[in-house]
Structure 1
Amino acid sequence: MATDIDGTLIDDERRISRRTIDVLTAVPAPVVLVTGRPLRWLEDLYDQLPERLPAVCANGAVIYDPHADEVLRADPLSSEVLLDVTRRLRDAVPDLSLAVEIEDGRSFRHESTWPLRFTDHRVRVISTPAELTSAPAVKLLARSASADPDDFLELVSKALGGVAEATRSSSSALVEISAAGVTKAAGLAWFCEREGITADQVIAFGDMPNDLPMLTWAGHAVAMGNAHPAVRAVADEVTLTNVDDGVAVYLQKAFNL
């Protein structure tokens, strides 16, 4: 079983319910988290779980074993590709703000125009534009202060011209950019092959466009009741919303728990 975190497994207060915890513990199948979150954002969820679950992070760019505290695989954007991509975006987007997830997602660097909603010693503003592209990044983030979220994703995707992957998981005009070929589906497929699991054995849950590759790849795709219309369109089934324990409700019925 593969599940997204935000908007899917947890509620809008970033809490995982007791019901969901109990169901995840009882499911007679391996469970893997597949998330757009960087590695450093897993701790708040792990603190709520009785057992740490393996995770495909940064939309497939980082695969993490929490028991060994080991990154099993990382597929970052190279400095050369970052330089190309940032040039393309600056030409295409007038009110652009950029940031990067580096060190496998353990650190975050951003431009001074980037809106920060929290403080963290792992987060730092860059001193020069060159610093943004000086090291490989598991994710480049691009934000517009004025664009429609779906329109902004389309604009960024067109500007990239296939040199990198663009997706989004936010309700704002925030696009997440990964190396070419890096998606939740690619990361999950690598993990499943390592574990001897085939796509047809996987039930996947998601709610936003960054979940689309995973849901298309999995043998059975379940959209949350709060999912983006594009996600609902590709899903085999739709469950309840994240605040109504949609993942737990579906699994209880599927496995007679």
Structure 2
Amino acid sequence: MMGVPPRLVATDIDGTLLADDRTLSARTAAVLERISARGTPVVLVTGRPIRWLQLVYDQLPAPLPAICANGAVVYDPATDEVLRADPLAPEHLAEVARRLRAAVPDVSFAVEIVDSRQMRHEAHYPLRWDADHDAIRAVESPEELLSAPAVKLLARAGEQDPDAFVELVAGALQGLAEATHSSYSGLVEISAAGVTKAAGLAWYAERLGVTEQDVLAFGDMPNDVPMLTWAGRAVAVANAHPAVLAIADEVTGANTEDGVAAYLEKVFEVG
């Protein structure tokens, strides 16, 4: 545990803060509220787009700031304002798509645009969630898909081993963009070069006058590794991916056992 209480708490959402049914326990909500009330900021750091935050906010006493789209968007829910966005430019999107179509002929794409408030996808891209949402729309052509700056490019190619597929995609991109994953469904999430959860959180922490040594971070999947490596104290939930367990300073209980809440209760002596 940290000898001195952290000055900023950063936590992933899915698989970390939420149970597998996407619910936030009353215990966890209460701990986050107490910490915030005592003056320690809490920020959500997620691969989710802005439009998926409401499910979490509905379960919290008050909405928390969020670093979305794996670090590309910093969002203030109090004002519904995007404080920072770092998208892939259309010319970079086009080059990423060109390289991936060459490496993975059956790849299909979707993009998170308008700071992740909207999504556009190719007709054959398989939608797993919010398919009927007004903000989701199929495009008429590949050119239309890549015409606007995107805070995230999503790539699928049928059933894939997620770790192997990320390695293939990252190899094809070779520094042009960041590739990671946060699920076991074979979805690869691509961001602009240098854009990670660590980069988004570092920007947010600097804004608060907090250094990395004073940040406590929680996570469970490979997209959390940059953030956990950067933070002064990295805590994995017990259900975390092996890559996360390998670099974490400590392991707390699983997401289904209020692992984050249990750890925070000890650090802040609340509960």
CA contact under 8 A between 2:16 and 2:254: conserved in structure 1? Answer: yes
1:26 equivalent in alignment to 2:26:
no
The partner residue of 2:194 within 181, 185, 204 is 181
1:9 equivalent in alignment to 2:9:
no
Looking at structure 2, the residues matched to 231 and 85 of structure 1 have their Cα atoms a distance apart, in angstroms, of 27
Helix, strand or coil at the partner of 2:235: strand
CA contact under 8 A between 1:95 and 1:146: conserved in structure 2? Answer: no
Kindly state the Cα deviation for residue 95 of structure 1 after the two structures are TM-superposed: 2.2
Looking at structure 2, the residues matched to 199 and 162 of structure 1 have their Cα atoms a distance apart, in angstroms, of 25
Kindly state the Cα deviation for residue 215 of structure 1 after the two structures are TM-superposed: 0.1
1:255 equivalent in alignment to 2:263:
no
Kindly state the Cα deviation for residue 218 of structure 1 after the two structures are TM-superposed: 0.2
Instruction: Structure 1: give runs of 5+ residues left out of the alignment.
Output: none
Looking at structure 1, the residues matched to 184 and 230 of structure 2 have their Cα atoms a distance apart, in angstroms, of 24
Superposition CA RMSD, Å:
0.8
1:83 equivalent in alignment to 2:94:
yes
The partner residue of 2:178 within 156, 160, 165 is 165
The partner residue of 2:146 within 133, 138, 141 is 133
CA contact under 8 A between 2:121 and 2:139: conserved in structure 1? Answer: yes
1:105 equivalent in alignment to 2:116:
yes
Looking at structure 1, the residues matched to 70 and 112 of structure 2 have their Cα atoms a distance apart, in angstroms, of 12
Which amino acid in the other structure matches residue 187 of structure 2?
L
Instruction: Structure 2: give runs of 5+ residues left out of the alignment.
Output: 1-8
Looking at structure 1, the residues matched to 213 and 34 of structure 2 have their Cα atoms a distance apart, in angstroms, of 21
CA contact under 8 A between 2:12 and 2:224: conserved in structure 1? Answer: yes
TM-score between both structures, scaled by the size of structure 2: 0.93
In structure 2, the partner of 1:69 is 80
The partner residue of 2:236 within 204, 214, 223 is 223
4+ runs of 1 displaced by more than 3 Å?
none
CA contact under 8 A between 2:236 and 2:248: conserved in structure 1? Answer: yes
Looking at structure 2, the residues matched to 200 and 180 of structure 1 have their Cα atoms a distance apart, in angstroms, of 24
CA contact under 8 A between 1:184 and 1:213: conserved in structure 2? Answer: yes
The partner residue of 1:50 within 56, 61, 68 is 61
Number of matched residues? 257
The partner residue of 1:93 within 79, 85, 104 is 104
TM-score between both structures, scaled by the size of structure 1: 0.98
